[in-house]
Structure 1
Amino acid sequence: MGFLKRLVGVIFSFWFLLTFVALVAGAAALVVYRLHFVGGFSTQATDWSAFGSYIGGVLGPLVSFLTLGAVLRTVYLQRDLLRTQKDEFFTLSQQQIASLQRQDDQLQLSRDEAERSLVQNYLNSQFRLIEFLVDNQQRHADAMSSVVLKIMDLGRGDFTDRQKAAEPSLKEKEMAVANVKELLILSMQLSLSEFKATKEIKDLVGPCLLKITGNQPEPDGASPAG
């Protein structure tokens, strides 16, 4: 904006200079004519024709020269204005590019933050699931241990018969203890690992949980599918 004001000032000052030169030249031509041709206003057409030819011959080339100078000056000013506009447009485009880049960076940071939050929330849910399964397996192991002790202490038959009767419950207890151990190992692996996506957590947790849930004892009275 400041440049445009300065440019307008230069244009007006240049035009003022041209006008001043033209007026001075016209006044000088009249003075010279007056010094050489004294007297009042002539009533002869030939005198006015000669005066017109004189003024035209003196001021015509000067006016043409000044007009050419004005045209050239205007062209140069327009060139400078175009150059300035080009620089301003380039600066503006660079600023817009930088602004878009900052927006892209902020958007990417937001996406990364959202992904990290999603991964952390999913990881926390897996810890809670493992904690639930550990508690469930531990209680099942304790229950089977009580069943084994009850069979061995109060069961019918000799020691061998009681041992044979307690064997299924003992196997369930051992399986539950093994499941607890695997779950604790899985929890430690989750704690020590870094994940960038929920799929990485699923790939680590999925096989272990499927194995443990597949080892769950069937409810009483259930029979394998034929």
Structure 2
Amino acid sequence: MNKFLRALNSFWLVSLLPILISFALAIYLYRLKFGGELSSDSSDWSNFGSYIGGVFGPLVSFVTLLAVLKTVYLQRELLDTQRDEFKSMQDLQKATFDSQQEALKQAAEMARQDQYHRTLEHLLSMIDRHSVLYGNIVGRLSQSLDVMANWAFEGKPVREEHLVKLAAKNERHKRTLTNLTMLAIDLSQSNFASIEELRVFYRLEMQKIFAAESVKDESDSEQSVRAGQAAAVDSGE
């Protein structure tokens, strides 16, 4: 707006200068032609007024027309400038909005990744607990089988069906332990689309692993270990 006013004022200043020069030149030529003294006759003044009006009327009208055209041009430039500034402001606001949306998406993705890794760590810890449990069971069964095998080698009485049952349970638990280890590897190396997909995969795979493992089987395993130890003690006595 200030630029518009400065340009308009400069135009008027430049326009008034030739008008003043023309006015001075017209007075000089009039006095040169008709004399330089003031007349007391009203008709002379009337003729002088007609002369001034005839000289300056078209000039002033022309300058006024130029001023109107200049004003319209400057207003159009002002409108174009305002439109460009408004568009620049809109572009800046859009860029700011897009950057904020991108920052929100990144924050949401980081939160999802963090929750995903926490869920994965929790599931891996659950698998590790099961692995430790079955590792202990396999260790006890293997120890009992070794003791009973030594007794059989030494000729001590050992019930063969009990030894076969313990060996079968031990092999089944070893397979379960191996499957748990493979499941932990699969969970660590696979990329799941969502946490729910991760949990569903974990639940289905655990169901498959423990399909052959019932509560009764686990109880039998513990009882078999204790029975084997008791039989070993009886044979030693």
TM-score (norm 1): 0.75
* Equivalence map 1:28-67=2 (5 Å): 28-38=25-35, 40-67=37-64
Deviation at 1:217, TM superposition (A): 1.9
Deviation at 1:164, TM superposition (A): 5.0
Letter aligned with residue 24 of structure 1: I
Deviation at 1:174, TM superposition (A): 4.2
Q: Which residue of the partner structure matches residue 100 of structure 1?
A: 97
* 1:119 and 2:116 correspond: yes
Deviation at 1:171, TM superposition (A): 5.5
Give the alignment partner of residue 217 of structure 1, picking from 209, 215, 218.
Answer: 215
* Equivalence map 1:51-200=2 (5 Å): 51-143=48-140, 162-163=159-160, 172-200=169-197
Is residue 176–residue 210 contact of structure 2 (8 Å, CA) maintained in 1? no
Is residue 15–residue 63 contact of structure 2 (8 Å, CA) maintained in 1? yes
Would you say how many aligned residue pairs link Structure 1 and Structure 2?
Answer: 211
Q: Deviations over 1:78-136 (max 9, x none)?
A: 22222233333333333333333333333222222222222112111111111111111
Secondary structure at the counterpart of residue 133 of structure 1: helix
Q: Identity of aligned pairs, percent?
A: 32
TM-score (norm 2): 0.72
Q: Which residue of the partner structure matches residue 223 of structure 1?
A: none
Q: Which residue of the partner structure matches residue 208 of structure 1?
A: 205
Gaps of 5+ in 1: 221-226
* 1:12 and 2:33 correspond: no
Name the CA distance, whole Å, in 2 between partners of 1:45 and 1:208: 121
Deviation at 1:216, TM superposition (A): 4.0
Letter aligned with residue 114 of structure 2: S
Name the CA distance, whole Å, in 2 between partners of 1:185 and 1:62: 100
Gaps of 5+ in 2: 152-156, 220-237
User: Relative contact order: is structure 1 or structure 2 higher (C-alpha 8 Å, sep ≥ 6)?
Assistant: 2
Name the CA distance, whole Å, in 1 between partners of 2:123 and 2:36: 118
